[in-house]
Amino acid sequence: MRFEKLRAVVSGGASGLGRAVTDRVLGADGRVVVLDVAREAGQALMSAAPERVLYVPTDVRVESEVDQALIRAREFLGRIDLAVACAGVIGAGRVLGREGPMPSEHFQRTIGINLIGTFHLVKAAANLMQAQEPNGEGERGVLVLTASVAAFEGQIGQAAYSASKGGVAGMTLPLAREFARLGIRVMTIAPGIFETAMVAGMTDEIRQSLASQIPFPQRLGRPDEYAALVRHIVENSMLNGTTIRLDGAIRMQPK
């Protein structure tokens, strides 16, 4: 699928990796609908380019909000070529922490945003994509999900986060298989450590420890490197049904 003039929906598109995708789509003359809870950042994006960006305040945990947002997205965009699920939270915490065992609500919140929120977006986007005219190659749309290397080697304190991201990686193939007859591809990116607001919240010590674990390049990833892979996934129709690590060869240690 061509990336120029793409019509995209990005959850979590107001910050970090999602914002980089938003910028890249806009840079290629496309249009974007951003679903995010970050109202100020979302409004600012829309005010800067009102003909090309629509911000819809959306909590991805709420199915009806995502469904409504996707209907508004289709009205604004005409069709949806790409949906990228970037909304997420880090949800760190030990199961047996200093303040006692982790409350179930913490675990459920992390799963609710990272995994069920991703499912809501995928379902609503694919539902609209299936009614669209396919391109010359039979493609109706592309879905890109965001897991994490923590799906495969989560650290101590990442039980909830790893469970949520393992779920995202795990649903990639069955979704791709199910949507194959519709000409909708499904891919997941598992980033290593990227320079975003999520990581900015960590202490310098943790950030340095993480960066030093990356074999090469020994630095945190740049959000635009994530967006570059999203672009490649859109353009390369053979990519389907798998998770790509984007991580400088990091294999995270227990802590």
Binding of ligand NAD by 92 (CB under 6 A): no
For tokens 């980033």, the residue is 191
* Closest to ligand NAD by CB, 73 or 86: 86
3-state secondary structure labels for all residues of 47-62: HHCCCCEEEEECCCCC
CA dist 227 and 105 (Å) reads 32
Looking at 11-19, 75-83, 94-102, 152-160, which segment touches ligand NAD (CB under 6 A)? 11-19
Q: What is the DSSP string of 55-102?
A: EEE--TT-HHHHHHHHHHHHHHHSS-SEEEE---------SEETTEEP
Helix (H, G, I), strand (E, B) or coil at 115: helix
Check if 226 is active-site: no
* Closest to ligand NAD by CB, 18 or 183: 18
- By CB under 6 A, the count of residues binding ligand NAD is 30
Max Cα–Cα distance, the chain, nearest Å: 58
Catalytic member of 119, 161, 179, 194: 161
Positions 225 through 254 that interact with ligand NAD (CB under 6 A): none
Q: How far is the CB of 113 from ligand NAD (least distance, A)?
A: 4
- 152 contacts: CB under 8 Å, gap ≥ 6: 166, 169, 190, 245
Binding of ligand NAD by 199 (CB under 6 A): yes
Site string for ligand NAD, 123-162 (x = CB under 6 A): -----------------------x-x--------------
Number of Cβ atoms within 10 Å of the Cβ of 177: 12
Looking at 9-17, 69-77, 152-160, 236-244, which segment touches ligand NAD (CB under 6 A)? 9-17
Please, are residues 183 and 237 in contact by the beta-carbon 8 Å criterion? no
Residue ranges in contact with ligand NAD by CB under 6 A: 11-12, 14-18, 36-38, 58-61, 86-89, 113-114, 117, 146, 148, 191, 193-194, 196-199
- What are the catalytic residues? 161
